[in-house]
Structure 1
Amino acid sequence: MPKKTEIKKTILVIVLLTWTCLAHLPGLKNDFINFDDRTHLMDNPMNSTMNIDNIKRIFSTPVLGNYQPMIGLLFAIEHLLVGFNPFYYHLLNLILHLCNTFLILLLISKLINNQQIAFFTALIFGIHPLHVESVAWVSGRKDLLYVFFFILSMIHYLKYLQQGKRQFSQYGYSFVFFLLSCLSKPMAVVLPLVLLLIDYYQTDKISIRQWLEKIPFIIISLIIGIISLNIQQEAGAIQLNQHFSIFDRFTFGAFTFISYLLKFVFPFPLSAYYLYPIKNGFFLPFIYYLQLFVFLFFILLFFCVYKKNKNFTFGILFFFITIALVLQWLPVGGSLIAERYAYLSYFGLAFLSSCFVFKNKNPLSNNMTKILLVILVMVILIFSFLSFNRYKIWKNSDTFWTALIEKYPSFSYAYAMRGIYFLEEVNNKELALIDFNSGLKADPNSFKAYSGRGCYYLKETQFDKAISDFRKSLMIKPNQQEVFNNLGLAYYLSGKTDSAITEFTKAITFSNTAHGNYLNRGNAWFDAENYMKAIEDYNIFISYFPNHPLVYYLKGLCWFELKEYHYALKDIETAIAKGTVEPEVFASYARLLEELHRFKESSATLQKAITLGYNVLSSPCHFDRIEDELNKKGNKLFYEQKYDSALMCYSEALKSNSKYWDVYVNRANTLNVLKQYQLAINDYNIFLKHSYFNHQAYYWRSIARIGLGDLKGALEDLNRTLKLQPELSQANTLRNQILLEIDKK
C-alpha cells in the first residue's frame, strides 16, 4: 500500500507540473518588455559584474523605488551565465512558478491530510490566468521569488508545529526563508500574520506564547517595512498628493478587494494596467460605491460564518492578509489594480475552492461532489486556455502596449512607451513620432510623450526641438533623471558644453545610481578641457562597469592631454587588453608611443589602426544634414575661388556643430589662401588634435607658418609630413628650400 500511495503521489506531481508547464509554455518565446525590464536588466550597472563590491551595491541600492536585493543578485548571476538572452530569463521564471506550484502541493499536504484538496489547490494556483503577468514579465520575477521563500517559510513553520516544537531548527529555517522573502519583495512582511493564521488553523486559538514566538519575524517586518516606505516615498511611488479624499481611498480599497475576488472566478477582461477613475465633481463612478456596499456586506457575512468553517476562515483571511498592503489604501504606483499582486493571495482562494468541492457536507454529498468536480475541471480547462492565450499580449513591447491602447484609447503613457519601443528597439522613427504625437493629443500634459518625442528629435539631430520637449517634460514632472540626462546630451551634441554639464549634474543629483550620467558628464568635462574632472567621472563609471574598454581609452586621452603619459599608457593598454578593436584607440596608442619615443612600436601600431579602418586623412565627428550641406557648399565655393563666401559657409557649419572636425581643416585652407595665417594655424591645431596622423594638415600648416615667417615651426611640420608620407615630393622640395633659407641666416 505505501508503495502504491507513493506512485499515486508521483503521478499527481507529474500531472500537476506538466499541466502547469503547458499552460505557460508560450512565454518561452517572448521578448523583454520595456516596462521596467530594461531598468532591471540591460541598463542596470549592477548586472555588469560579480564581485564583493558589486554584491554590496546590490544590497545597498534600491531599484525603481523598491528594495529587493535578492532579485538584483539573481539577475546579476543570470547575466553572468547567459547574458541578455530573453529565453533563459523566461525559462527561470517558469521554473520558479513550477517550484511554487509544487511547494503549494507540499504545504497543503502538511496543512490538511487530503491529497485531492492539495492537488486541486496547487493546480488552480498553477494555471490561473491572473498569474500570467508574474510569469510572463521578466521583472515580475520578484513575485515568483518572494513567494518561493514565503511558502518555504510556511512549510518549515508547519514542521516546527507538527514536530512538537522540539525541532527548533525548523523555526530557524522558517525565519531565514522569511528574511530571504522580504529581501526579494517587501510584500513578504505580512508573513508573521500568516503564521498566526496557521496557529489558529492548527489549534483553534492564538495564545500569548504564539504571539511571542513571532517577535523576531515582527521585528524584521517592521525594519523592512520602514525601509521600503522611505525608499518608495523618496522615489515618488507613494503619491499622497493625488486628488482623492480619505473616503475615496477607503472606497478604492473596497473596490480592489472585491475586484480581486471577482477576477478569481471570472478572470476577464485582463489588463496590465487598471487606470484610476475620473471623478465627476466630488463623486466617483457608481460602480465604486456599489462595490463598497458589497465589501461591507462581505465583511458582515465573514463574521457570521468564520467560526463555523475553519477552511473558509483560513482561505479568506490568507487572501486578505497577503493582499491588504496593495489595496490602494495608500496610493502606490499608477495602477489601481495589478494582477501580479494576486499571485500569492490567490492561494487562499484556491484552497477555499478546493475545500468547497471536496469537503462539502451536503446530505447528497457524493453526487454534489461529483457535480462540483465536473464544474471545477471545466473551470480549470477554461483557465488553462485563457492563460495559454494571454501570452500573446506579452510577446514584446509592441503587443503589450497595443493591447493597453485598445483597452484605453486615451492612455497617453501607453502611446509614449510604444513610441519609445519603436524608436529604440526597432528603429522605426516614423511610427515612434506618430505615437508620441498621439500621446500628446490624448493628454497635452503627458510628460512621457514629451520626453519620448525629445528622444526622437535627439536622434534626428534636431537639438533645439529636443531641448524644448525635454524642458516641457520637466515642467510637468520635475526630477526625472533620465530626462535631465537626455537634455544634457542635446546640449552636448549641439556644442553647448557648459549647459550639458549643468544638466548631467542635475541627473546625477536626482539619481546617483544611473551611472551612464557620469560617463556623459565625463565626456562633457573632456570637451571643456577639465581633464581631472573628466577622470573623476570616468572612474566612478568604471567602478560599476569595469569591463567597458572605451572608458579606459577616454580616461587615457585625459591623461595624455595632462602630459601624464605613463598613466595614459596604462589606461589605453587596458582598453586594448579588454578587447577593443576601435581604430581610433590604436591610432591614439600610436601617438602616445611616439611621445614616449617608442617609434618602432608607434609605427607598427599605426599600421594596425589603418588595417582596422582608421583614415589618417579624416577625423571622427558628429554632423547632421545641414552642416554637411554647408561644408559641401563651402568646398564648391573654394574651388570656384570665391574664398570669402566659402569662409562664411565653413564658419556657419562650425557655428552649428563645433565638433565637425573636418570643417576646421577646410576653413584653415581658405584662411591660408586669404593670408590670414594665424587664424589658419589655430584651425589646423584644432583639427590635428583629433586627426594626429593627417600628413596633409601638417603640410598645409607649414605653409601658414612660412607666411608668418616661422621657418623653424614650418620645418618641424614638414619633417612630420615626410615621416608620415615620405613620397610627398612637394613637401621634400619645400623642406630643402627652408633649410637653404635657414643656412643663409
Structure 2
Amino acid sequence: MSPRANRLDGLVCLGLVALTASVFAGVLGCEFVTYDDPMYVLTNPAVTGGLTADNVSWAWTGKFGLWHPLTWMSLQLDTELFGLNPARFHLTNLLLHCGNVLLVYGVLTSLTGARGPSAAVAALFAVHPLNVETVAWVSERKGLLSMFFGLIAVGAYGAYVRAPGLARYGVMVGAYTLSLLAKPVFVSLPLLLLLLDYWPLRRAGTAATGGRSWRQLAGEKLPLVGLAVAIGVVTIVAEDSVGALPTSGSRSIESRLKNGAVSYAEYLRRAVYPNDLAPFYPHPGRSLPSETAVGSALLLVALSVLAVRTRERLPYLLVGWSWFVVALLPMSGLIQVGGHAMADRYAYLPLIGLLVAVCWGVRALTERSRWVPAGVAVLAVGASGFVARAQVEHWKTSEALWEHTLAVTARNHRAHFHLGKIRAEEGRTDDAIRHFRAGLEFHPRDEVANFLLGCLLADRGQLDEAAARLTTATETAPQFADAWWQLGRVQRRRNDPASAAAALTAALKLRPNDPQMLTERGTACARAGRPADAVADFRAARAAGYESVDLDNNMGIALAELGLLDEARARFRSAVCAAPDAPDGYINLGFLMEQLGQPDEAADLFRTAARVDATAVAPRSALGLLLRRRGRPQDAVPVLEAATGLKPDDPELWFELGLTWEVLGTQDRAAGAYRRAAQLRPGAARFHAALGSVLVAQGLPGAADEFRAAQADADGLRQCARTAFRLAAHQNPAAREEKVAVCLARAVCRASGEREPALLDLLAIAYASDGQFARALEVEQKAIELSPSDRPPDRAVRERMLKSFRDGKPVRDTELK
C-alpha cells in the first residue's frame, strides 16, 4: 500500500473517530439506568468487587442468565480501574464503538478495495440512531465487545483468503471465540463468511476458473460452526440453569412468525427513518393484525427476489440484503427471548449489510459523478448524527429514558414498571402505584411489578390487595424468595398467622436459615398459637447471629406462653436494655410481672412505658386495666380516659372505659362510653348489649334497639358470654375479674331476653364469683324453672350450683367439666 493511501486511510480514520465522538460525547454525562444496569453492575458483587481471581472465576462459572464471561471481565476491569463511575463505563462503550467503526472501514476497505463506499458505510454506522442504545447503555457492553472481536475475525478471514495459512486461520478462530465469549451476536459468522465468499471475495467457482466449490467453502467454515455450537450449548445450559430460557408455550408459533415478519419490516423502516426509538417495544402477542404480518412478509419476499434477480449485476445488493436477513435471524423474534417485539441493539450487526447495499448501490447509480455520492453521504450522515445526538439525551437519566419511552410507544408495561420503581425510590408513592397499576393492565402476571406494588400497598395499610399482588408474584415465580417473605409479613398483619407461617416456610425453603425470615415465621407461629415452633425459630435466628428488639419481645411472649418465665423475663429485659426509649419491652415485662404476682412492679413498668412515649396508648390501656383488676377502678378511669384521648377512634378503649364506669356504678358515664364504642364499630354485639344493659338499669328508652343490634351478631354474643365465664370462673385468681364478669354476663342475658337458661347459669356464676350469692341463687332458680325438662346430668349440675351458692361458695370452671 502506498504512503499516500496510508495517509488517506489515516485521515479517514481520524475523521470517523471525530465524527463518532462529536455525536456520542453526551454519553459521558449519562447515568446508569434502571434497565439491567443495577443487576449487571451496581448490585452485582462480582462486578463491584473488581477484577479479582474469585470474580473472574465467577465470570466463567457463575449462574446469571446469559453466559458471557468476557463481558463480565470487561465490566470488572472498569470497576477495578475507575470504581462505579458511570462516565468511565460509558467512555469504555464509546471507545469500543469507535473501534468498531474503524474496523468496519478497515475490513470493508481490505475486502473490496473501495475506500469511498467503505468510508460512507463506516460513517453511517458510526452515527446511526439505531446504534445509540448499544453505545449509551452500559449493560449492552456485550454487544460492543462481540462486534469488536467479530469484525476482527472477519478481517482475519480476509487476510487468510489473501494468503492462506494456519496462523491466519488461527487468528480468525481466536477472535471468533472471543466474540462468542462476549455475546453470541456473531453466531451466524460462518454463513456471513460464505456471503463474503460470493462478494466481494468471489471465491466460488470451478477449479478451471481458479475458484472453489461451495461444498469446499462450507467445509472450510466447519470449525467455526463447531465452535458456535459448543458455545451455544454452554450458553443454553447456563440460561436453563437459572430459568432464563423461554418456554416453548410462552408464545405461539403463529405469534412468533407474525412478529418476526413485522420486526424485519420495522428494522428496515427504522434504518431509513429512525423515529420514536425506545429501549423496549412491547410484544404485540395475538393482537398483531394478520394483514400487517402478511404485508411485511410480502415486502421481505419482494426484496429478496429483487436481490436474487440482480445478483449478477449488483452482487453487493444480494450480499448486503442477505447479511441483514441472516445476522438478524437469531434476534428476529422467531426465537423468543424476553417480552419485547424487537430491540434497537439487535440491529447493530445487521445494519452493516443494509448500509453496504445502499452505499454501493448509490455509487453504482451515480458512477458518472464523484460528488453526488459524496453529497448524499454527507446529507445522510448529518441527518443521522443530528437524530442520534437527540436520542443520546434520552439516555441521560432513567426518568428521561422511560418518560420518553411512554411518549413514543403504546401499552408499554416495562416503561410503567421502571417509572414505578423510580417514583417509589423518590417517595412518590401515589405516582408509583399509578404506574404499577397501569403497567399491570397490559402485563398482569409480572412478578416483580406485583411484588413491588404489593410492598407499596402494604406500607399504606391496603393489606388485602397487597396480599393478592404478592400471591400473584409467588404463583408466577415460585422461586421468588422475597415475594414469599413479604407475603408472609402481610398475612401476619392481616391477622392470618397460619397463612403467614406457610408463606414464610416457602421462603425459608428457598433461603434456608435466613435469620429475618426465621424471626418473621416465629412471630407468625406465636400468633397462630404455636409457641413451641415460634421459640424454635427465634432460637435459630439468634444462633445465626441475629439480634433485634422485636425478636426479644416476640420470643419473650412465646416463652411466657410455654411457662418458661425466667427466660421470658431475660428476653424482655434484653429488649428494654437495647431500646430504653421504646415502650414495648416495658409493657411486655409488665404483663409478665403481673403474671408472676408482682402487680406493683407491673404498674411501675407500665408507667415507665407511658413516660418514654408520651403518645403511646398501649401502656396507658395496660395500666388502666391492671388498676381495675386490682380493685382500683376509680384510679383506672383517668388513665383509660387519657388513652381514649390519644386514640379517640379505638372502640375497644371506649368499651373498657365503659366497663370501668359500670363497675363504679356510674351508669350514665358508662352509657356514654358504650355508645361511642358502638358508633365506632356498629354491629358489635358486646358494645350494643352493654349499652342496652345500662339503659335498662337507668330506665331509659333505646335498650330494645341495642339488644336487636346485639342479637344480629350471634357469634359476638357467644364470644362475650365465653369472656364473662372466663373472668368469673377461672381457677387462677389473677385471671378473674368478677365485677366485669357480672357486667358482661348481665348484658348478654338482657340482650337475650333473660329467657335462656344457659345464660342465666352464666349470670348466676358471675354473681357468685363477685360474692353476690343471694342474687346468684335467685337467677339460678329462674334458670331451673325455665328448664323443667332438663336431662338428669344437666339438672344435677344445676343442683350442685345451688348448693354451692347456699353454702356461700363460688363455682369454678373445673367443677363444671
TM range (shorter): 0.5 to 0.7
Q: Which shows bigger deviation, 469-478 or 10-19?
A: 469-478
Cross-structure match for 1:634? 618
Q: Give the stretch that moved more between structures: 390-399 or 469-478.
A: 469-478
Q: Which AA in structure 2 matches 1:502?
A: T
Residue 46 (structure 2) pairs with residue 46 (structure 1) = yes
The match for 1:468 is 468
Note if contact 1:255-1:291 (Cα within 8 Å) is conserved in structure 2.
yes
**CA spacing shift, 1:616–1:271, aligned 2, 3 Å:** closer
Question: What's the CA shift for 1:389?
Answer: 0.2
Partner secondary structure for residue 289 of structure 2: coil
Residues 467 and 487, structure 1, Cα contact 8 Å, conserved in 2: yes
Q: 1:36 to 1:633 in 2, by over 3 A?
A: same
Inter-CA distance 121–442: structure 2 relative to 1 (3 Å threshold): closer
Deviation at residue 378 of structure 1 after TM alignment: 1.0
Paired residue type of 1:175: V
Task: Report if aligned partners of 2:197, 2:203 keep a CA contact under 8 Å in 1.
Answer: yes
Aligned to 2:27: 27
Judged with a 3 Å threshold, the aligned counterparts in structure 2 of structure 1 residues 153 and 243 are, in CA distance, closer, same or farther, namely closer
Residue aligning to 1:707: none
Quote the residue 1:436 is aligned against.
436
Residue in 1 aligned with 2:195?
A: 197
Indicate the residue corresponding to 1:313 in structure 2. Answer: 318
**Whole-angstrom CA distance in 2 between matches of 1:520 and 1:158:** 60
Asked if 1:504 corresponds to 2:467, the answer is: no
Match of 1:170 among 161, 168, 171: 168
Secondary structure of residue in 2 paired with 1:336: strand
User: Which residue, out of 255, 269, 276, partners 1:262?
Assistant: 269
Q: 1:259 to 1:184 in 2, by over 3 A?
A: same
What letter is aligned with 2:416?
Y
Question: Residue 724 of structure 2 corresponds to which residue in structure 1?
Answer: none
Q: Give the distance between the partners of 1:4 and 1:555, measured in 2 at CA.
A: 76
Query: 1:187 aligns to what?
Result: 185
Describe the shift of the 1:338–1:111 C-alpha distance in structure 2 as closer, same or farther (beyond 3 A).
same
Encode CA deviations 1:252-295: one digit per residue, 9 max, x unaligned.
32222222222211112322222333546xx8242221111111
Aligned residue in 2 for 1:79: 79
Deviations 1:449-505 (A, max 9, x none): 422211313555766654332113334565445534544665799997855642434
Pairwise CA distance, 1:184:
1.1
Distance change >3 Å, CA 72–CA 294, structure 1 → 2: same
Paired residues for 1:245-644 under 5 Å? 245-246=253-254, 248-277=255-284, 279=286, 284-358=289-363, 360=364, 365-367=367-369, 369-424=370-425, 426-440=426-440, 447-459=447-459, 466-475=466-475, 478-480=478-480, 483-484=483-484, 486-487=486-487, 498-499=501-502, 501-505=504-508, 507-508=510-511, 521=517, 617-618=580-581, 632-637=616-621, 643=627
Instruction: Note the 1:133-148 alignment, pairs <5 A.
Output: 133-148=133-148
Aligned length: 564
Alpha-carbon distance between aligned partners in 1 of 2:520 and 2:494, rounded to the nearest angstrom: 12
Compare CA radii of gyration and give the structure with the larger one. 2
Q: Which residue of 2 aligns with 1:238?
A: 246
Distance apart, 1:376 and its partner CA:
2.2
CA separation of 1:46 and 1:489: change in aligned 2, threshold 3 A: farther
Residue aligned with 1:59, SS: helix
Cα distance change on mapping 1:476 and 1:215 into 2, 3 Å: closer
Cα distance in 2 for residues equivalent to 1:441 and 1:9: 55
Deviations 1:588-616 (A, max 9, x none): xxxxxxxxxxxxxxxxxxxxxxxxxx977
**Does the Cα contact within 8 Å between 1:249 and 1:328 map onto a contact in 2?**
yes
Equivalence for 2:232: 225
Q: Secondary structure at the match of 1:366?
A: coil
Superposition pairs of residues 7-22 of structure 1, within 5 angstroms:
7-22=7-22
Alignment correspondent of 1:582: none
Deviation at 1:302, TM superposition (A): 2.2
Identical columns (%):
22
**2:153 aligned partner:** 153
Q: How does 1:123-142 map to 2 (within 5 A)?
A: 123-142=123-142
Alpha-carbon offset, residue 212 of structure 1: 3.2
> Distance in 2 between the 1:219 and 1:630 partners?
75
- Give the structure 1 partner of residue 222 of structure 2: 215
Counterpart-to-counterpart distance in 1, 2:28 and 2:45? 25
State TM-score, norm by structure 1: 0.67
Instruction: Give the aligned residue type for 1:193.
Output: L
Work out the CA distance in 1 between the residues paired with 2:280 and 2:134. 14
> Aligned equivalents of 1:111 and 1:383: distance in 2?
26
For structure 1, list consecutive stretches of 5 or more residues without a partner in the other structure: 510-516, 539-552, 558-613, 654-673, 678-745
Note the C-alpha offset of 1:393.
Answer: 2.1
| Rounded Cα–Cα distance in structure 1 between residues aligned with 2:542 and 2:376 | 69
Distance 1:181 1:486, change over 3 A: farther
Following superposition, the deviation at residue 353 of structure 1 comes to 2.3
**Distance (Å, rounded) in 2 between the aligned partners of 1:6 and 1:447:** 57
Deviation at 1:439, TM superposition (A): 3.1
Distance 1:396 1:535, change over 3 A: farther
Change (3 A) 1:480 1:637: closer
Q: Structure 2 stretches of 5 or more lacking a match?
A: 205-212, 524-534, 550-576, 586-609, 630-635, 648-731, 736-817
SS of 1:270's partner is coil
Partner Cα separation in structure 2 for residue 523 and residue 52 of structure 1: 36
CA contact (8 A) 2:156 2:169 kept: yes
Structure 2 CA distance, aligned partners of 1:554 and 1:54?
28
Q: Is the 8 A contact 2:583 2:616 kept in 1?
A: no
CA contact (8 A) 2:263 2:341 kept: yes
C-alpha distance in 2 between matches for 1:621 and 1:179: 63
**CA shift for structure 1 position 338:** 0.8
- Alpha-carbon RMSD across the aligned residues, in angstroms, is 4.1
Whole-angstrom distance in 2 between the partners of 1:79 and 1:284: 47
In the TM superposition, residue 432 of structure 1 has moved relative to its aligned partner by 1.2
Equivalent-residue separation in structure 2 for 1:391 and 1:459 (angstroms): 37
Query: Structure 1 523/142 Cα, relative in aligned 2: closer, same or farther at 3 Å?
Result: farther
Q: Conserved in 1, the CA contact under 8 Å of 2:519 and 2:537?
A: no
Q: C-alpha deviations, 1:47-94, integer Å up to 9, x for none?
A: 24344333222212342x312122222222322333322222212111
Question: CA, structure 1 residues 123+535, in 2 after alignment: closer, same or farther (shift >3 Å)?
Answer: farther
Whole-angstrom distance in 1 between the partners of 2:312 and 2:475 = 56
Q: CA deviation at 1:305?
A: 1.8
Equivalent in the alignment of 1:69? 69
Instruction: Give the TM-score normalised by the residue count of structure 2.
Output: 0.61
Larger displacement relative to structure 2 (526-535 or 459-468): 526-535
CA contact 2:130–2:347 (8 Å) conserved in 1: yes
1:18-69, Cα deviation, whole Å (9 max, x unpaired) = 1111111212212222111111112223224344333222212342x31212
